[in-house]
Structure 1
Amino acid sequence: MSDTHRVRFEPVDVEIEVTEDETVLDAAFRQGVNLMHGCKEGQCSACKSFLLDGDVQMGRYSTFALADYESDEGYILLCRAHAFSDLSVELVNYDEDMIRSGLPVRTIESTVVETEDLTHDITRLRLDITGSPDFMFHPGQYVDITIPGSSEHRSFSMANISAAEGYLEFIIKKYPGGRFSGLLEDGLRPDDPLTVTGPYGAFTLRVSSDRRIVFIGGGAGMAPILSLLRQLATKNSEREVVFYYGARAPRDLFYVDEILQTGASIPGFTFVPCLSDSMPENSDDIGHPVENGLVTDIVDRRETDIASCDVYLCGPPPMIDAALPRLESSGVPKEQIFYDKFTITAAAES
């Protein structure tokens, strides 16, 4: 049995217990402390922190996430750090409200309710979780779903707003040769079991802010944004909200009616679908005006004061990589930008 140590996080004055055979991040998840994180695999740097005192051993990680010189200076990745003494850790990226509102990560069994094709390459998956009434998540979070017959998993964000509804709803992009995509094409049937672990993620609504909200999404990044929109609608929020959704062609747009119906309960809501490749011959075919161009270009053109907004990004990694430097050059403070960045493997089906 491995030894147990204490980890103290500064400057938030939070302590957890951690065993030597689990990472610091996993120990935090287990105890409901929601530290900033992304891939959980040593690839993205979201959990990078500074070791003030103590002895850690690091598992394998990418030097893109933690450069050698940063490691030499004392920086660590919490998702790869194992404690071998009591630790004092300074968090680099954190949101104190988020940390203290964390939910314990749990592994539960679910069953498939249904799958439905929303476009030629995007499918809705609904899982029954009525057998796990204590499971909870915050709107905008995600879970890992284990691929049956393996130890691998894929990460997917929930599109609904509460586990109390008795189900989890996912919007999943299908990729040729994808292991989970293949199950969606021909494999999953109603009542099939799937193991779910979570919740994870910091893509949650900062309710203490009254700033205007800019959502920027693409592909299956629709899921957590729709979850947050539904949350805003049910809470009768008075914050102004605009949702930019990027797609290639009219056939890639979906849930337009659902978005407009949900947005009708949010004063000042605007939906801006953006098509990069081809436009519809008649916008009536979509039922809503459409902009032509890359979603990041259209945001640049329309948002003249984005630095005063809270910006939520979710979509393919190239979209996020393109948007982040543009937001920085527009003066948006880092603490007003929220996104979950997965590794390529996870992002390929999330």
Structure 2
Amino acid sequence: MALYDAVVVGAGIEGSATAYNLAKNGQRTLLLEQFPLPHSRGSSHGQSRITRVAYGKDDHYANMMKEGGKLWRELERESGTSLFLNCGCLAVGTPDNPFIKGTISSLARHRVNHDVLSYKNLQNRYPMLSLPPDHVGVLDYSGGVLMADKALQAFQKMYVRYGGELRDGEKVINIIPGSDVTIITSKGQYKARKLVLTVGPWATKLLPQLGIHIPLKVVLISVLYWKEKTAGEFSSDRFPAFIHDGEDIHVYALPSLEYPGHVKVCLHVGPVTNPDSRDKADTREVITEMQQYVSKYMPSLKSTPSIIETCMYTNTPDKQFVLDHHPAWKNIIIGAGFSGHGFKLSPVVGKVLSEMVMDKSPSYDLAPCQIDRLIQPKSQL
């Protein structure tokens, strides 16, 4: 049986970015994916994701994002694929909202070009929005949209070009830790010096088999597309990526890109679900809430979604990632709990996880992402 330097389980954006970095650094790497590629059953599919630099109190992510932008451009050059649309990212809320205050502070601290917009400025620049008069806006000129499916395919394409081996439609059945790790799948058996687990929502099922009990929560996000009443009003040259944060509002939107004349507007939360039976989750409350939101704040859109898709978030209680070694088996490395904001950081996550595989000091302080902050005694489960 061949011995790999590393096996990466899970070919979503984090796993594919990790495998890409490993192969690029000369590591003999196998990337395993349980579903046939491409697929829409996890957290990395779809055409678009918001990207931005500001991270308020989570300054370690803002530091990562500064390099993340450079790494996305490097992947664009390597793969010959356009992955980033620089249309800006607009955050709106009340001036005393912690998210708004944190965004302004982060952008200023990291010297990112931005504007703070009064209510009148918001009305003038974005007449398609109907926001409350106590709102202000923060426009991050460095933000915009990542082309998600193309980004995932670019990582996988370059991974294979660098000599990596990719096997899809192959589910991991069992993992046997040891000085070398044995991975048993639905189709075979492999050995690796190091194992990386980037399995998204399935971390809730796989990690307990390895004795790790952490409070990950999988939620189903309804990805909703709403038709413009006036064609072109929400095009990317008029409407940036958008985040509306408030006491009871956690909404994001992207300009009309995927479907002609349709705008993606979604609630950032959803019902808890099982990744193996996610379609059983009841999303009626989310749809109703979003219909009310669109009618009130985006009256330039029709108030019933034309297209409904789904995605899953795997949330940690503090919304911080898990980037760490297994507490007992240091040759098993875990990337989990990306909490709906990990996609844009995936080039840096992949770099950091690959550094851990290669026994290098990580490029960033990973103290906020250590797994022991979340491990629960079985009596508390």
**Structure 1 length-normalised TM:** 0.25
Relative contact order (C-alpha < 8 Å, sep 6+): which is higher? 2
More helix, by proportion: 2
TM-score for both structures, normalised by structure 2: 0.23
